[in-house]
Structure 1
Amino acid sequence: MLATEKQYVQWHENETLRHARWLSQSNQVPPARIVLVDDKTTADEAYRLACAGTSMLWHGDFQNARQLLQALTRRIERSELRKSIKAANKSAESAKLASESLVLPKVIPNLFHQQRQAQTQRSRVLSRLLLELGKGYVSQLRRAPDVSAACTAAFGQLDEKIDESCLLSFRDLQGALGAAGWRAKGVPIENLGLSIFPHYGVFAPTRHEYVQLLLDAPLPNEHDVAFDIGTGTGLLAIILAQRGVKQVIATDLNPRALSCASENFVRLELPAVQLQQADLFPTDAPLANLIVCNPPWLPAKPTSPLEYGVYDANSAMLRGFLQGAKQRLAEQGEVWLILSDLAEHLQLRSRDELLVWFADAGLEVKYRLDTHPKHGRSQDNTDPLFAARSAEITSLWCLVPFNN
């Protein structure tokens, strides 16, 4: 989420000291070194500057900036390929030595962390191509599209009283434009025959093989009240409401998610769904017959707002949810936990560890429904983590209190 306190950046242009508000989707600090670049700047020159930690303020044609970013991406990919080949050879050698010594190899988790580091470095380098937008998020660059509506939705209003301009990375601008596209056309959920409309900074449900699990799982005999914890776009709450749950209370800590879910509920005319800003569980709510949660699946530290939908440092949300669920269940109530086992295949968390967390929370497994992934990465055998991704299973764990 964007920092609430405004930050500013300054640079020299035509022997004049300029300054503007700094906008960063991942809360990166304002750049310390900025040089001016334009259509004459080659991709190799830009790549050297970016890798050296220098940010570049673009003064050329808007569409050429897009092409330059693509060229930088190709150079990063070539560098990553060389490193991955070297790492794969080293990992293969380590795996061979480990198997010979009967020691469990750590090849897969090492590859995962290497990929995360590469993604962070890629983001850092690509974010060094900057654009200046004036009052109302208007760009003065040649062939620049109208980005004002997308930027206002993503970053909020600029201060028009002081004719405020801003600097942001071209990559963040692309993110705002992409989010505006998703918000306009929606993400189709085929199992439900409807579309979900994500907002900027809210994880889009582009992977929704678990939807069928929620449709197949038998509702508890009593299902007057249900909680959807960490609702995001509101998809799980929508499914529960459409299945006949009389009162659904959906929570999230992210104001963007609450706004997004509210818009989706209104669009689908679901007045029975209530929203509450909360860290996990709602307050002043009745006991629930059903509590559902689709937490981030991988125990790793998120580095941007969108990554909070994927990564959960130390499994903090998952463990917090489990520890608090039992005391909020009505008699004969159930917990539905939507969770992938990708973390297990990546050796980031074990199945035994997960089961211990269930038991420590006073919960036991009533049944489990499984489905296999359908997304493209699970079919990509060139991915270094293909073995883990192709073996992934997403499950709906139905949990109940002991002796329920």
Structure 2
Amino acid sequence: MVADYSLYGGAETIKRSARRTTVITPTAQDDGKAHIAPPMDPNDFLWMQNEEPHRSRRAAIMKAHPEVRRLMGYTPATKWVVLLVVSLQVALAVYLRDSHPFSAKYLAIAYIIGGTANHNLFLAIHEITHNLAFKSIWANKSLAIFANLPIGIPYSAAFKGYHMEHHRYLGEDGIDTDLPCRLELILLNNVFGKVFFATFQILFYALRPTFVRAQTFTKWHFINIAVQLVFNYILITLTGWKPWIYLIESSFFAGSLHPLAGHFIAEHYLWDGLPQETYSYYGWLNIFAYNVGYHNEHHDFPSVAWTRLPELKQLAPEFYDTIPSHPSWPMITVNFIRDKEVGIFARAKRVAKERKYTAAPRWEDQVSVDTTGKLE
């Protein structure tokens, strides 16, 4: 019997082990309007002493709604969306082969269509990283490498290891590479620094992990690099440099001042003085982003595919509708830049526990159910 690894949210082996946010259902503790906490100290991160919140909420939801188990597992829809978007990007790249890379037409297509499409592929790789496109590991990794092609730079294999550590060790300093480092806090904690950060987010997310925590290369890293280089070579040889430049521009715009890129800041930055580590967004832009806005839901249950995250929220409204969420992704970037009460410092960190880490752990997520849905 072939194991369905999507049930484990990305794991490849089984080892037991003035207010910016709103509240859908106001509570006595939070009416969704009042700024209920003082501003954070802008000179340091918020250091947490408690455990990350997703493990305990997952256990509470599974106890209250054991039927949540039926939502777990992969969805066949992912591969078709990936095929469509990859085809679109390759077709547009070839279409622009005779246009100047800095012409109005070229830049407009690269920002509006290309940026949206490549951001969609970023999140396709995120989804596939959790083994939620196929049952088997090799099929998911192969699809991630295919989804990587229009991005222009090979990263899908490296992303998997870093992202699984982000789930398992959320907020742990030196382990969770989603967190800004001390140097970023010193250099970028002002308006101009935040503009620079928001403009070049893609570079921070690409380069920071290599400085914070090196990975051990696997065969999939080399396959990812080789396939991408062959694709780039064929594209450039047959059509010239301009189509490849279009793909690179699309990737840059996708992780820069783009409406969808607000989700990078939305997900785990601290807002309104609250010590809340993860925020969701339930607006229509999720259509282009594999429902990544359902981010509390995703961290609680990484083994639930994007097509069923809205159903997860509807299943447990008493847990999700009372948590502050973001009403807009584009405004998050604007508020991040202009608001003195949020900045590079607005992240929750924990001192890394003393444990034996590996560069690419085999147990790659905080998922707590086995194939029968049994809570560990």
> Does the alignment reach a TM-score above 0.5?
no
TM-score range, shorter chain: under 0.3
TM-score by length of 2: 0.27
Higher share of residues assigned helix: 2
* Higher RCO (CA < 8 A, seq sep 6+): 2
Larger Rg: 1
Higher share of residues assigned strand: 1
